[in-house]
Structure 1
Amino acid sequence: MLLEKLRLLECSLHGDKRNDREWLELILHPEFREITMSGVLVDRTETISSLLSEKTALYILSSDFRLTEMGRGCAILYYRTSYADGIRPALRSSYWLCSDKGQWTLLFHQGTPAASTA
């Protein structure tokens, strides 16, 4: 099931793999871009550098995954995150592309602070 496959790939970037250069270079499309939660547009090189420089990674909780297939070999994954202590809730979207060889890569990601529900 595609939703589960992309969920696992996405969540791999929330754990130990986020400090693995080889994995990041494999999973992030060469034209990868991200709009960060602070509203800054960054590219693949900046993202990899930032992730590799993290000293301690906070555990990220992810939930409410939804998938929209845009056509053959491309899909958008939507979900929610927060840190384990509940701070920094966010709405996230990721645009994934599948190569002719069946390798999914992340082309675009955006994290937006979630509106308060309190």
Structure 2
Amino acid sequence: MSDGSISQAEIDALLSGVEMGAGDSPAAGASFSGGGLSSAQSELLQSFCQANVGSFCPSLESLTGKTVSISPPRVEISSKEEFSRVIPDMLVATVIDFEGEFAGDHLFLMAPE
């Protein structure tokens, strides 16, 4: 992933929960219970995404040279198995590692069209 892109094998590994190296494992004490988030946590995550989505359009427009429109974000909690059944075959993926209170690997997926 040295050029910032992620391979299909890396996407598959992320979806299956396989660790791909020291930098890709969750921070100590961080975990995903599989049971999801509380209502308050889900609302907080939704607010965080909504507050930051506005900065994504100008960045993506400068990268692509095209007009970008982003739908309002939504938070859905599902298992990796459920998630892997609903994603399309072709995706553009970005992995961002967070540390601190919101630690973990976060995967942003976009359809290429």
State the structure with bigger RCO (CA 8 A, min sep 6), 1 or 2: 2
Of Structure 1 and Structure 2, the greater strand share is in 1
Of Structure 1 and Structure 2, the greater helix share is in 2
